[in-house]
């Protein structure tokens, strides 16, 4: 890629816009339009991360890293230069398209009784929760037509993963949850693979910006686990979308002193418990206070509430959590 093309890419994606899209928030304004905030590249407890929007440059006085947008992507996502460019190209083109798809799916939810019935079967009944999580439904066979009428070309839909190589909607008969730059779809059919994401990173911890300031955080594996806990009043809950955290999610949990309750699935084969124990050890090495929540055998938080569990009982599990 030529120098002109690199400069053009950086002009199209201002560094400050990219940082804020990845949950960075400035703490105070400095002279000449510069900003200072917590560093997203290491566990920062006092603002040490300087951003100069006019020059599109950053520098951290804590960890010593600095550079331009591309250098930030390399450090933040732990990738090399070519992969950083690919991520930026994808982010530039795919983000608006994914937002359009998520909005379309939200409008479909209450038009399809099977989707509403599935949510109720999984214990998701609150309209406030559905609005909070922006839950939608992909019936299949209609998204491609909608987006092409809006002017998006078919190759762009394929690149985003919204349409298959054969030209069909990638998400069919799935309840859809918007993520940061991605979508998660849970199949209503037992014949299809239950989980599906778009290509690319699944992002950080779910709803982290709303949770990060709590001194105590509950971490669960799945979005349906998150949903029933949030619905029950536990608004300090977040989700890793699996029991193996990516680099960014791990870094988020370690960004300040806090207590983390690990409420992973109590799997019959012990996989959830093993993942919880391993993660607890890694977090404690970073000074995080970790307590492991013991759910009834064979249950996850979602099934716990679906099978008549309630907030008071879950709070008792939190109180009984052990190291």
- 3-77 shares its CATH topology with 94-197: no
The domains of the chain are located at 3-77, 94-197, 208-319
CA distance 296 to 309: 11
| Alpha-carbon distance values, 270 to 48, 180, 242, 302 (Å) | 41, 30, 15, 18
The pTM of this model reads 0.77
Residue 113 near residue 183, CB atoms below 8 Å: no
**SS3 letters for the chain?**
CCHHHHHHHHHHCCHHHHHHHCCCCEEEECHHHCEEECCCCCCCCCCCEEEECCCCEEEECCCCCEECHHHHHHHHHCCCHHHHHHHHHHHHHHHHHHHHHHHHHHHHHHHCHHHHHHHHHCCCCCHHHHHHHCCEEECCCCHHHHHHHCCCCHHHHHHHCCECCCCCECCCCEEEEECCCCEEEEECCCCCCCEEECCCCCCCCCCHHHHCCCCEEEEECCHHHHHHHHHCCCCCEEECCCCCCCHHHHHHHCCCCCEEEECCCCCCCCHHHHHHHHHHHHHHHCCCEEEECCCCCCCCHHHHHHCCCCHHHHHHHHHCCEC
* pLDDT value, residue 216: 97
CATH code that applies to domain 3-77? 3.90.580.10
In the structure encoding, which two tokens stand for residue 106, read together? 């939200």
* pLDDT value, residue 296: 93
Mean pLDDT, 10 residues at a time, the chain of 323 residues? 80 87 85 93 91 95 96 92 84 80 96 97 97 97 92 86 94 95 93 91 87 95 98 97 87 90 91 91 93 94 95 97 89
Measure the CA angle with vertex 154, ends 152 and 155; round to 5°.
105
Residue with token string 């992909």: 138
Instruction: Report the candidate in 133, 145, 143, 147 with the shortest Cα–Cα distance to residue 171.
Output: 143
Backbone angles phi, psi at 174, to 5 degrees: -130, 135
* pLDDT value, residue 1: 64
Residue 293 near residue 215, CB atoms below 8 Å: no
Angle between helices 3-12 and 81-108 (to 10 degrees): 30
Q: Into which CATH architecture does domain 208-319 fall?
A: 3-Layer(aba) Sandwich (3.40)
259-262 vs 289-292, strand pairing mode: parallel
In the structure encoding, which two tokens stand for residue 181, read together? 């730059």
* Class level of CATH domain 94-197: alpha beta
């Amino acid at each position: 890629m030529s120098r002109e093309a690199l400069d053009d890419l950086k002009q199209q994606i201002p560094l400050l816009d990219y940082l804020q899209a990845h949950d960075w928030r400035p703490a105070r304004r400095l002279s000449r339009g510069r900003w200072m905030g917590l560093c997203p590249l290491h566990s920062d407890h006092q603002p040490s991360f300087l951003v100069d929007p006019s020059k599109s440059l950053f520098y951290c006085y804590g960890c010593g890293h600095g550079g331009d947008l591309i250098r930030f992507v390399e450090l933040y996502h732990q990738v090399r230069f070519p992969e950083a460019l690919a991520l930026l190209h994808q982010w530039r083109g795919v983000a608006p398209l994914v937002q359009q798809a998520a909005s379309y799916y939200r409008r479909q939810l209450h038009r399809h009784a099977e989707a509403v019935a599935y949510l109720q079967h999984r214990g998701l009944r609150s309209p406030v929760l559905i609005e909070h999580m922006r839950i939608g439904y992909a019936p299949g066979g209609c998204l491609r037509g909608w987006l092409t009428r809006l002017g998006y070309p078919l190759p762009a839909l394929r690149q985003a993963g919204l349409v298959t190589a054969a030209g069909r909607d990638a998400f069919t008969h799935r309840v859809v949850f918007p993520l940061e730059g991605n979508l998660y779809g849970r199949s209503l059919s037992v014949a299809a693979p239950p989980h599906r994401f778009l290509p690319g990173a699944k992002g950080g911890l779910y709803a982290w910006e709303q949770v990060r300031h709590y001194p105590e955080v509950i971490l669960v594996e799945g979005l349906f686990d998150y949903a029933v806990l949030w619905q029950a009043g536990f608004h300090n809950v977040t989700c890793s979308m699996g029991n193996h955290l990516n680099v960014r999610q791990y870094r988020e949990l370690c960004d300040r002193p806090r207590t983390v309750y690990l409420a992973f699935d109590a799997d019959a084969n012990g996989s959830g418990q093993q993942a919880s124990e391993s993660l607890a050890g890694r977090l404690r090495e970073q000074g995080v206070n970790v307590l492991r929540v013991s759910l009834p055998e064979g249950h996850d938080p979602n099934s716990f509430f679906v099978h008549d569990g309630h907030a008071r009982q879950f709070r008792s599990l939190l109180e009984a959590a052990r190291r």
